[in-house]
């Protein structure tokens, strides 16, 4: 039986749109966008005439694309596979081969695309750029040259937005020359995750947390996104990105913002983004010797049954960049403002670690005066994956006569169990938000640039060090320095402590 869509999903009113996906036959499209769109269709959130138009360099026909999606995507949506919806979904798909060479001429495909979209100027038109960032400017210019940019158009930019502040600015300028800021949706799929949304609700729809959400009561915060996967077949991208650009500049910093931001005055598109921006602007810069003390970078080496980063199967052999790139990073960040002064925010992410886990751990301080032996401080754990939920670890007395024995026990909320609905993938929510014209969960230009402004000096210090990252065996808990980063102050990563 299909789990029913959530009431929030049912409330949305769909209207006809053309979703034009550049990179529409690529990995992101096949793994994330199309399964998400299928689920939206199944939940009745795509209007009857909505079309999904994939653009790629390959010379596919509409039927070729449908065959490819049938073969590659259907298996990714098993729990919702309804033959009738699946047929309807496939019928929405179109393919147009385009060439985005940026030499002033309109190349192959653009006229076909214009013919396909023509006469539908009153519909929402969404250009989703699931392609490398250097294509964003050329794509937008050519879309404009082909007369495709209408007042109802929006453009969605996938991360990474550049590789440093300068390149991010250039992309923002180029896209901004064609689309107004209100039409630009910079996606960070972490902001569409259910627990991330719930963090806002937990903080701002409950009264009990706010008085203790500060440096008086909170010892430190940990934000961890650990993955078991490596990077096979991704060397071309990953060598240039590394964990800092791939994960920290966007996903982890966005999570940090939501934990640290001040209560916004309203739940609207600008108020939340204004508050997040202030957090990014308050991050203490890390560079030079501080980068050595407060940051860690590692690269996985061979581990039990797993190759090291340099030996991952790939089309191209390792280059100099491969030897230097980090597949793991840990950082001790600080938000320099009244609320958070002195509270470390530990960020950590890496590939080929022992478990796939994304979580935010808010570690409270110990009781001011303890009358029981064996207590440990309270901890709030927000699980983004797996099994989205929230646990508040409190101290309880073990049942029994005699000595009082304390044990930390979690008061837990599992979204799947409590609400009995399928937890939608982040891309479902975000795609529906783009279609509904709601940019609240997308990054504004100033946010992206403020994040790069903090990241750039760390990158510069790492680059100038000229030393390779610290190796850690694939499948291990990361390089020893990551443990020392917390260990120096008597702290430990969440999973290393007794529960």
**Residues at the site binding ligand BG6, with contacts judged by CB under 6 A:** 225, 227, 246, 358
Between 215 and 240, CB nearer to ligand BG6:
240
**227 labeled binding residue:** yes
**111 labeled binding residue:** no
Residues 6+ apart with CB under 8 A from 443: 161, 186, 187, 188, 191, 250, 254, 273
Between 124 and 194, CB nearer to ligand BG6:
194
Q: Could you give the residue ranges of the DSSP H alpha helices within 127-205?
A: 136-145, 165-176, 194-204
DSSP summary character for residue 337: S
Residue nearest to ligand BG6 (CB): 246
**Are 137 and 102 in contact, with CB atoms under 8 Å apart?**
yes
**221 labeled binding residue:** no
CB 382 to ligand BG6: min, Å? 14
Between 43 and 227, CB nearer to ligand BG6:
227
Residues 6+ apart with CB under 8 A from 213: 203, 339
Sign (positive/negative) of CA torsion 191, 195, 200, 203? negative
CB 256 to ligand BG6: min, Å? 16
CB 185 to ligand BG6: min, Å? 16
**Are 100 and 142 in contact, with CB atoms under 8 Å apart?**
yes
CB 193 to ligand BG6: min, Å? 7
CB 225 to ligand BG6: min, Å? 6
**397 labeled binding residue:** no
Q: Single out the catalytic residue among 39, 220, 251, 393.
A: 251
Between 219 and 227, CB nearer to ligand BG6:
227
Q: What share of the chain is helix, strand, coil (3-state, %, to 5)?
A: 40, 20, 40
Between 185 and 294, CB nearer to ligand BG6:
185
Distance CA 71, CA 17 (A): 25
Query: Is 369 one of the catalytic residues?
Result: no
Distance CA 414, CA 390 (A): 7
**Are 156 and 148 in contact, with CB atoms under 8 Å apart?**
no
**57 labeled binding residue:** yes
What's phi and psi for 395, nearest 5 deg? -90, 135
**68 labeled binding residue:** no
Which residues belong to the annotated binding site? 57, 99-100, 159, 189, 193, 227, 246, 351
- Residues that are catalytic: 251
Which residues belong to the annotated binding site for NADP(+)? 57, 99-100, 159
């Amino acid at each position: 039986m299909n789990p029913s869509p959530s009431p929030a999903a049912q409330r949305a009113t769909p209207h006809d749109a053309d979703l034009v996906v550049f990179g529409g036959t690529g990995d992101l499209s096949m793994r994330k966008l199309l399964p998400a769109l299928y689920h939206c269709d199944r939940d009745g959130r795509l209007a009857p005439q909505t079309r999904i138009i994939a653009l790629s360099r390959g010379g596919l026909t509409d039927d070729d694309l449908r065959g490819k999606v049938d073969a590659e995507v259907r298996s990714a949506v098993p729990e919702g596979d309804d033959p009738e919806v699946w047929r309807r979904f496939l019928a929405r798909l179109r393919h147009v081969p385009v060439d985005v060479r940026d030499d002033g001429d309109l190349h192959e495909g653009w006229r076909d695309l214009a013919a396909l979209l023509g006469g539908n100027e009153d519909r929402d038109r969404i250009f989703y750029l699931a392609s490398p960032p250097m294509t964003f400017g050329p794509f937008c210019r050519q879309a404009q040259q082909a007369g495709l940019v209408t007042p109802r158009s929006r453009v969605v930019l996938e991360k990474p937005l550049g590789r440093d502040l300068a390149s991010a600015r250039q992309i923002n300028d180029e896209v901004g020359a064609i689309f107004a800021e209100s039409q630009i949706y910079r996606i960070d799929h972490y902001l569409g995750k259910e627990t991330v949304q719930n963090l806002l609700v937990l903080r701002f729809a409950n009264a009990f947390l706010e008085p203790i959400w500060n440096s008086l009561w909170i010892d430190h915060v940990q934000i961890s996104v650990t993955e078991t996967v490596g990077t096979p077949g991704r060397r071309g991208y990953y060598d240039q990105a590394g964990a800092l650009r791939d994960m920290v500049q966007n996903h982890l910093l966005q999570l940090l913002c939501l934990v640290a931001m001040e209560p916004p005055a309203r739940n609207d598109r600008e108020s939340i983004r204004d508050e997040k921006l202030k957090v990014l602007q308050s991050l203490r810069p890390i560079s030079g010797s501080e980068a050595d003390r407060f940051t860690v970078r590692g690269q996985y080496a061979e581990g039990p049954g797993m190759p090291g980063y340099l030996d991952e199967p790939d089309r191209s052999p390792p280059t100099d960049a491969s030897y230097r790139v980090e597949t793991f990073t840990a950082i001790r960040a600080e938000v320099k403002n009244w609320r958070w002064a002195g509270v470390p925010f530990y960020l950590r992410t890496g590939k080929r670690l022992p478990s796939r886990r994304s979580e935010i751990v808010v570690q409270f301080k110990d009781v001011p005066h303890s009358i029981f032996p064996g207590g440990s401080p309270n901890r709030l754990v927000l699980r983004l994956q797996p099994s989205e939920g929230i646990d508040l670890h409190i101290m309880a007395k073990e049942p029994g006569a005699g000595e009082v024995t304390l044990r930390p026990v979690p008061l837990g909320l599992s979204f799947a169990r409590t609400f009995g609905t399928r937890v939608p993938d982040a891309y479902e929510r975000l795609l529906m938000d783009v279609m509904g014209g709601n940019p609240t969960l997308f990054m504004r230009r100033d946010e992206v640039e403020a994040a790069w402004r903090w990241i750039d000096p760390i990158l510069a210090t790492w680059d100038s060090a000229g030393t390779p990252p610290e190796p850690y065996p694939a499948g291990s808990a990361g390089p020893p320095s990551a443990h020392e980063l917390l260990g120096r102050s008597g702290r430990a990563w969440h999973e290393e402590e007794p529960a």
